[in-house]
Structure 1
């Protein structure tokens, strides 16, 4: 998966640090990734009414 790099201002860094500490993540980037995935989950739930996987699912594997 491609990686994106962002510059954070002071408010962003403070928010990411609070999330990082609360979830015991190792970096601000992990906190940002968690925020994006959480938002995608909520959007998918709102759109479909069901949870959806946020990772590739193999076909035919059981």
Structure 2
């Protein structure tokens, strides 16, 4: 997948820096992915009332 850069305002950069530091992540991209997964999990939990695991779907079964 091609890399894309994001133009971040200082507040967004500070939030991503804090997430990287707290979660031990190396890049802002990893922090964004962590935040998105967290939001998806919370959203699905609100809908279903249960937690769901999020795993990449592979072609090997």
Point out where structure 2 has 5 or more consecutive residues left out of the alignment: none
Q: Distance in 1 between the 2:2 and 2:53 partners?
A: 18
Structure-2 change in CA distance of 1:11 and 1:33 (3 Å):
same
Give me the TM-score of the superposition, normalised by structure 2. 0.77
For residues 1-57 of structure 1, give each alpha carbon's deviation from its aligned partner in whole angstroms, at most 9, with x where no partner exists: 887653321110000001100111000110111001000000000000111121237
Aligned Cα RMSD in Å?
2.3
- 1:28 is the counterpart of 2:28: yes
TM-score (norm 1): 0.76
